[in-house]
Structures are given as C-alpha cells and as structure tokens.
Structure 1
Amino acid sequence: MCFPIDEGGLGFRSFKDMARAFAAKLWWHFRLGESIWAKFMHAKYIKGVHPSEASVEQATGTWRRLVAVRQMAEQNIRWCLGEGLVDFWKDRWVFHEPLESVVDRSEKPHFIVSEFIARDGWDETRLARWVPGFVVQAIKEVPHDLARKDMMVWLPSPTRCFTVKLAWEVLRQRKHRSLVDSLLWPSVLPAKMSFLAWRLVRNFLPLDMTLRCRGLALPSRCGCCYLEEEALLHVFLTGPVASEVWRRVSGRFGFQLRNCSSMAQEPGALSGHAMGGWQDTSRGGLFFGIAREGRSLRGGGPLVRLPGRNRHWLLKLNSDASVNCGRASGGGLLRDSQGKLIFAFYKEFGEQDVLEAESMALLFGLQLCDQRGFCPSLVEVDSKTLVQLVGSGVIAKWPLCNILRKVRDLLEGFSASISHIFREANSSADRLAAIGAGGTRMYDQFHQLPAIVRASTILDSRGVPGVRWLIEEV
C-alpha cells in the first residue's frame, strides 16, 4: 500500500521511508553548520576529517541515524561556490562526482577550493599540478565570488532548498509504473469505487473461495444465483448477474466483452473503453467551445505584439534553444536597432533539459558579445521561466545556478536588461537553434545564414509578422 497509486499502491507513506527522509533533513542542517546543534555535532564527531568519512566507535542514536542516510544525502548535495571554503577533493562542486573519484592519483592532500583561486581568477598553474587538463577546463567554467558564502544545493530541488518531500522521493521504495493501476483512479470516480477495483485486481476481497485458499475452511455458495461457489470470476464476470451488468455496460460504451481467464485484465479494458467513450461524447463540446473562444477573440487586438519601429536600443541579443531526443542545441543573433546582423551563432550542448539549454544558449551569446567587444543593451529570450530566474536572483538547481550566476554578472557588466518575448517574435533565434548544423557555427555575414533564418531576419527587421510552420526545411 505504501506506493503511489500509479505504482500499484494507495498513496500511503511508510514510517521507515519518512524516518529516513527526516534523517536526511538532519544531515542537511548538519552540513550547513549554521545552528547551535550542527556546531555541537561537528565539534563532537568531526575531528579533522570530511563529514562523509567520520566514524565513531560508541555513537549515539542520532549519529547512527545520520550515518544511515549519509551516503544518499551526500550524493544529492552540490556546492555553488562563493568564498571557496569547500573541500577540493571530496565535495561535489565541479562534476556530479567528487574529484577524488574522477582524478586517478594516489596522493590527494587536503585542500579547500579557495587555495586555487588567485586575484584575477583560477590559478591554472597550480591546478595543472594536481588535476588533468579536462578537469582544469571544467573548473575554469565554474564561477566564484569571494564576497559571498558558499551555497549548498539540494540536487533534486528546483530552488536548491532541501524539502522532506524531495528526500522521500529519493529514498522511498519504487515499483514499475502500472497502466492498469493508473486507470483505476480517475478523478470522476468516487474513491471508494476505485478502492474496490484496486482490491478486486489483487484478489483482496473476502470471498469464500479466496478465504478458503488462505486456509479458512468454510462452505461456499454464490449469494446471487445460489448455483456455484463464490469465486472472483463468477461473482464479477461469468455469473448470471455479472453477465447482465457487463452486457449493459458494453452496450452503453460500445465495446465487446472478451473471454478473460484473469479478472486483472478487465478493469484496464473497461476503464480504457469508458474513457474513450467519454472523450467521444465530449469531443463535440470541446470543438464548439474552441470555436466560441475563437469568435470572441476575432475582434480583439493582436495576440503577439511584435517590436515596432520606435526602437531605442542600440544592440539587441536574441537567443533560443532546441531539445530533440534529449540532445540540446542553441542559437542566437546580435543585431542593431535597424535590424542589421552583427553576428549569429549555433552551438550544441549535448544532453540537457530545456531550461538548462535555454540558459546555456543565452550565456554563450553573452560571452561572444564580451569577447568581441559588443555591449548589448537589450536581451530577449522566449523562456519566461528563465527571465524570472535571472531577474529574481534566486539560487536555482545545480548546475543551473552556476550558469545563472555568470549570466547575471555579464548582464550587469553590460548594463543590459533581459525581457521575455513570444516565440513567434523570436523566430530567427528559434530557427537557428533547430538547424542541426553540428558542433559550433559562427555567422558573421548575413548571406552566411541558412535561407530560412535569413527570411525570418528580414521580416523581423521590417516589423512584418511571419508564419511558423510545423515542419520546416532548412
């Protein structure tokens, strides 16, 4: 029962899983080290070693609870660098694994990250003495701010903060998702009926034959027909009363009842046919509802307001990203206030989610502006979530928090503003991100752009709205 309903449970949470989730919360506060309790625990149990390796011979019950979830908790803790008081080898601040498991060398003395930070950035010479080149390159991409404190990030959280719910999701027992079980709990069905169907599928109903199979000897007779024994298939499928019910239900929903040897197959079939019938009967109402909404919007203003002629910005950067089959790519272009192209780019980012791909495309465009000496005053993206994250200054999930920190620093250096734009008005960057050119491409001249991007850029510069096709040939 202690599983989500789509995994065959009833949505209850086991006390064991919840106890471990609250123990993970204790470990989180212990690693933060901000409370008096955390400082006391550090002084008592952490003596010159990393918390992930501390061991005590005669430990209290609280410490044993912490040790039981220590490995899981450490695997989900990341660090967003500030002053750099983070263990260089054992904490996760560059990759998803600590550097001690990435770098193959026997000598690994204790360092903190701040020992590798110079006044003008990372001390590459010292880094090269301890880690290979690919790690040095990855470290150079990690931002830091010596004026801020290091921020601990809970990896499953979109806001970097620890929650017991997310810890429970990581710790809990899991089963494979079940299509039949997910169909047993529609919102339109009373919970008691769904619970009855759940018990029926698992043969948990106290029928005579079920009780007999479990060791309780008793006579059995069906209470509906008094002709056969009270078995699951007879009561709910093959008996005269059940057959009549199924005949009427199948006629109402338009399906033919099959000869099933297992009752577990029927609830899924019935739910599927019932949902199909409901969708058929509702489709007409949905269509006419959309038509009514369309008529009400026909006399209104434009749904998307495109940039007009009165533009006061000097340089504007547009960026966008595309994720296809898990592979992310981004594109963008820098233009002046007359719509003239300064440069455009396309870059692939590997396996990323949509928000990370959007932020990486924006960061790459800002870095190109910085490298080439351009100072955009306006930045536009079609991800409203990204605009809100950049503007709010919150610490997002890892490693997005590192990307956002660099984006904010570049925007502050440019004195540029970032705003949301609808996808229809961001068609040039949208099409650049989806061209699939491979690797990294730079376009310094207008005629170098793909034809479909050139068309969008011309229409955009003249303030003419374009049409976005579902399938476009580049």
Structure 2
Amino acid sequence: MSGGKFSSPAKIMFHVNVVVVILLTRGIAVGCVQYLIKDGGSTLLWSDPWLPGGPLGGHGVLLAEALGRDTFDCVKKLFHNGDIWENVTADLAIEARWAEVVNTKIHSRLPEDMAVWTPTANGAFSLRTAWDVVRIPGAKLPWCDLVWFPSSQLCFSFITWLACLRKLTTRCLLAQWGLVVDTACVLCQDGTDSLDHLLFRCSFSAGVWREVLHLNGFNRGPLGTWDEEVRWLVKHFIGCSIYSRVRRFSFTASVYKLWQERNARIFMNKCNSAASVLQCVLSDTRGVFVNFTKPIPDDAVNRAFFSGWGFDVSFVHPKASFHVWTPPPRGWVVLNCDDSVRQDRGGYGVIGRDHRGCPIFAVAGGARDVSIVHMELQAIKAALLHAKSHNLSHVQVRSDSMMAIQMIVGSFHISWSVRWLIEDIWRLRDSFSNCSFAHQVRETNGCADYLVSLVDSPMEISLCIDSLPLALSTFIQNDAGGKRYLRM
C-alpha cells in the first residue's frame, strides 16, 4: 500500500483473487443448469449438462477426433430412429454412463432442446436464486419473520433487524468502543442510551409502545429487556393473518420512529413529543393497510381490532356450501385422484367408478422426496395407466389440486421439474377416445384421500374390489347415495 492506493503487485493479486472466486462459482452454476432434450440437435454431447451427473465430458475424458470424440458433437449423435438411445460408436466414456443416458426423458413436445435454471420452478434464471445457490446460509433466527414479512417497509425492517442483532449504535455501545463519554438517554433524560433502555424501558418510548400494544389487543407495559420483548413478540405477533401483518408493521414502525426521534435530538437538535411519534407510527401503519380489500370474517373481535386502528374493511359472514360427488354419464368412468406429502415421503390414491358409483379399481402408491404437485401428477398418471389397463375408453380425471389440473389443460405455467410427467399424461390422454380433466373440492374426494393413507413406502398396491376396507366402502356408498358434504 502506498498513498492509499494499491501497489502494482497488490493490484495483480487482488484481481487474481476476484477471478479465482468467480471461477469457483462456475462449477456451482453448471450444477444448476440442465438441458431438456427434444431431439438433441442443439445440445452439445460432451460439454452441456444434459445428464443428472453433469457433463459427459468431465474430468479424465479426452476429447480427440482420433477417439471419435468431437468437441461439437451433439446429443443427437446418440439417437437412433429419432427417439431411441444407441451408443453407435461403442464409446467407453458413454458406456460408463449409459444408465443415465437411457433414463433421460425425451421431451418430444418441446419446440427444441431447452436449457433450464433448476433452482426456479419455471426454469428462468434469477439473481435471487443464484445468490441463494452460492451463499452459505445460516440457521434461520426465531425472530426473522417478525422483522421481514409481506407489506414490511425496508427501512423499518432494517433498523429493527439491527436492533435484534444488538448492532444499533447507541451511546452505550459507542462508549464501549471508546468513542463517546456522555451516555445519557436523550429521550427521557433519566437513563442511559442503551438498547434495553431505548426499547422500551425509557419512559418516552414506553408510552409509545404501550399505546401500540393496546391497539393490537394487548394491555401490558414493556417487559424487562429487549430480548424478552422480542421473545414475547415472536409468540404473539407472527402468523399469516392480516392481524399479524398489522402487528408486525406497527412494531417495526415503532422501533424505527423511536430511533429516528433519538437521532433527531442528537444530530439535529429537534424534539417531538411522544404523542407526535405515536401519531407517526399510526399514520404509517394505516397508510399501508388502508386499501386492504380482502373481506374479513364478521365477529366482535375483528370489529374491535379494525375499528381501533381505524381501518375501513369489509366484513362478511362465513358461508357454508354443500357439495356432492357427481357420477359420470353412462359409459364413462370417473377417476378420483389425491396425494399427500409428509416429511420425507409422498403418497397417492386413485379410484375409478362408473355411472352407478361402483368401483372398478382402487390403487394406493408411495414415493420418496417429492413435492405436492409432483405427487398429484403421479396420481393422475397412475389413474390413466390403470384405466388403460382396464380397456376404458371414456374417462374423466378429477383432482382437488387446481394447479395440477391447470398445468395439464395448459392454463398454468408448467414447472420444468414435472414437465416429463405432464408429457406422459398428455400421451396417455391422447390414447383414450375421450379424456377430460376437472377440479373438484376436497370434501367430495374422500375415497382417494383414504387410499393415500394406506401406503408409507415407495410401492404401489391394487386393492381387491370384492374386499375393500370398511371405511372405504362407506365412502363409496355415501358418494353413490348423493351424500352432501359441508364446505366452510
């Protein structure tokens, strides 16, 4: 270092280190790209990552024309008659990974080979997912959702985040660093400017916080320390409801406005009353949620909460509706499908019934490490396969997964990871004289839901129609008899 600038050797080493770091992420990036093969015409055989184990021409594989390996060979080289894998050159490097090759799905309905970014569902690259891939994540802190949430304001959450990390530069913290001598609280003049005092033992901040808690339905004063306050808030303010969003926003707004008032007094010699700070908190909170349009269930608790905040919301009475299992027309068969994913296993259930509601087949299956939509599509595929094996020609598939049905009929974007399942379902659909897909409410899918619970391992079982479990037989009889199921 000389004169505050890098010397020439230091500059060189700095740039070398930057290049090294960038190159280290290349391997990670390659592992996040996968090629979906249509005909192999635009995918490089040796260097593109079209196999699950990575590029075929990895370490130790020599690319040389004398060995019949050209850098620009395409995957199409392994195609025979357009859709059959064949190692025509008997290449040992290819033979060593032949199991991967033959298990690679051919996506015949794609317009061309497609490169997908695997960390996203739609296969499109994003900086956010790229960062998630290369960073080393730490354990999620208990108060994370208290600070960062939908509708949060960045500056409010940032200051609250610093407070939760105990990184706010209070006078007491600066004194520990030897930077200041006066540690008096500028809000109340009766304590030290520490995190625990500022939030919320200070009489100034305590008055603001007490009113905010009251509006959120809690009649208590501040707790002993900031850490105790945060632990209490994690238990009472985190959730998915509009309540929790209002409460969390008002909390972060309180922290920010109190810190802002403290800084204004220190650095600008400006003072506001506690009532003025409170009004700022209330105004900011109301401003964010003033246009909330989702109807709120009408009860005394909801009315008191939203009235206290001054929110003009629409209240509705919960409506109940009744649904029945509808039999298909004569000559058709309904295929009811359902799935379940618990921890590290998934399961699916399928039942086929005719126009009288009588079962034709019932199947239960399981798998490991799968998503909900994957399992639902697996159930639909299994239903069509069994319908095909029973020589059925007119079928209607019913599922309580709206996303799965919309993917199949083309009204929802298909995730790259389940495209092969969708294409399998399309091929099966085209093999029937008539095949349709419909969404149904969960309450009328009791038979398939029951079948899901029968298998807890990667296998499939077909139940004997003449000796079905009593619970399943009861579901079938109720459906056929037109039982009305209540949906709230």
Q: TM-score range by the shorter chain?
A: 0.5 to 0.7
Q: CA offsets per residue over residues 122-155 of structure 1, 9 Å max, x none? A: 347879985579936x835723429841122221
**Residue 380 of structure 1: which of 398, 404, 428 is its match?**
398
Q: CA deviation at 1:348?
A: 1.2
How has the CA–CA distance of structure 1 residues 133 and 429 changed in structure 2, closer, same or farther, with 3 Å as cutoff?
Answer: farther
d(CA) in 2 for partners of 1:370 and 1:132?
36
Query: Which amino acid letter does the alignment assign opposite residue 253 of structure 1?
Result: F
Equivalent in the alignment of 1:157: 120
- Report the residue type matching 2:218 in the other structure: F
Note the alpha carbon deviations across 1:181-230, whole angstroms, 9 max, x for none: 43246779877665554444445555433333333254444446656654
TM-score in terms of structure 2 length = 0.64
Aligned to 1:114: 76
> What residue is the counterpart of 1:20 in the other structure?
none
Matched, 1:98 2:54: yes
2:218 equivalent in structure 1: 253
CA contact (8 A) 2:80 2:86 kept: no
Task: After TM superposition, give the deviation of residue 405 of structure 1 in Å.
Answer: 0.9
Which residues in structure 2 correspond to 1:25-424 (within 5 Å)?
A: 69-85=25-41, 86-87=43-44, 91-93=48-50, 95=52, 97-98=53-54, 100=56, 112-119=74-81, 121-123=83-85, 131=95, 135=99, 139-140=102-103, 142-145=105-108, 148-171=111-134, 174-184=137-147, 196-223=159-186, 230-236=193-199, 253-254=218-219, 259-260=224-225, 263-269=226-232, 272=235, 284-286=300-302, 293-294=317-318, 297=319, 302-308=321-327, 311-392=329-410, 396-414=414-432, 415-424=434-443
Of the structure 1 ranges 100-109 and 141-150, higher mean CA displacement relative to structure 2 is found in 100-109
Q: Distance in 2 between matches of 1:315 and 1:443?
A: 17
TM-score (norm 1): 0.66
In 1, Cα distance between equivalents of 2:236 and 2:201: 20
* Paired amino acid for 1:332: V
Gaps of 5+ in 2: 1-18, 248-297, 305-312
State how far apart, in whole Å, the 2-side matches of 1:287 and 1:161 are. Answer: 44
Given that 1:321 and 1:434 are in contact with CA atoms closer than 8 Å, whether structure 2 keeps it comes out as no
Question: How much does 1:400 deviate?
Answer: 0.5
RMSD: 4.7
Q: Hey, what does 2:466 align to over in structure 1?
A: 447
State the AA in 1 paired with 2:108. Answer: D
C-alpha contact 2:339 2:347 (8 A) present in aligned 1: yes
| Alpha-carbon distance change, 347 to 444 in structure 1, aligned in 2, over 3 angstroms | closer
1:79 & 1:466 partners in 2: Cα distance? 46
Q: Deviations over 1:251-275 (max 9, x none)?
A: 9835576554xx4443443565577
- The answer to whether 1:432 aligns with 2:448 is no
Contiguous gaps of at least 5 residues in structure 1: 1-62, 469-474
C-alpha distance 250-148 of structure 1, shift in aligned 2 (>3 A): closer
Q: Percent identity?
A: 20
Tell me if structure 1 keeps the 8 A contact 2:172–2:194: yes
Is residue 77–residue 154 contact of structure 1 (8 Å, CA) maintained in 2? yes
Q: 1:334 to 1:106 in 2, by over 3 A?
A: farther
Measured after TM superposition, the shift of residue 245 of structure 1 is 7.4
Alpha-carbon distance, 1:234 to partner: 4.5
Checking the alignment, whether the CA contact within 8 Å between 1:330 and 1:433 is kept in structure 2 is yes
Q: 1:326 to 1:104 in 2, by over 3 A?
A: farther
* 1:358 CA drift (Å): 0.7
Task: Give the total of aligned pairs.
Answer: 394
CA contact (8 A) 2:146 2:238 kept: no
In the alignment, residue 354 of structure 2 is paired with which amino acid?
D
Cα distance between partner residues in 2 of 1:164 and 1:189 = 22
Distance 1:387 1:381 in 2: 7
Q: Is the 8 A contact 2:33 2:117 kept in 1?
A: yes
Q: 1:385 Cα deviation (Å)?
A: 0.5
Question: Is contact 2:351-2:362 (8 Å) kept?
Answer: yes
Cα distance in 2 for residues equivalent to 1:417 and 1:367: 15
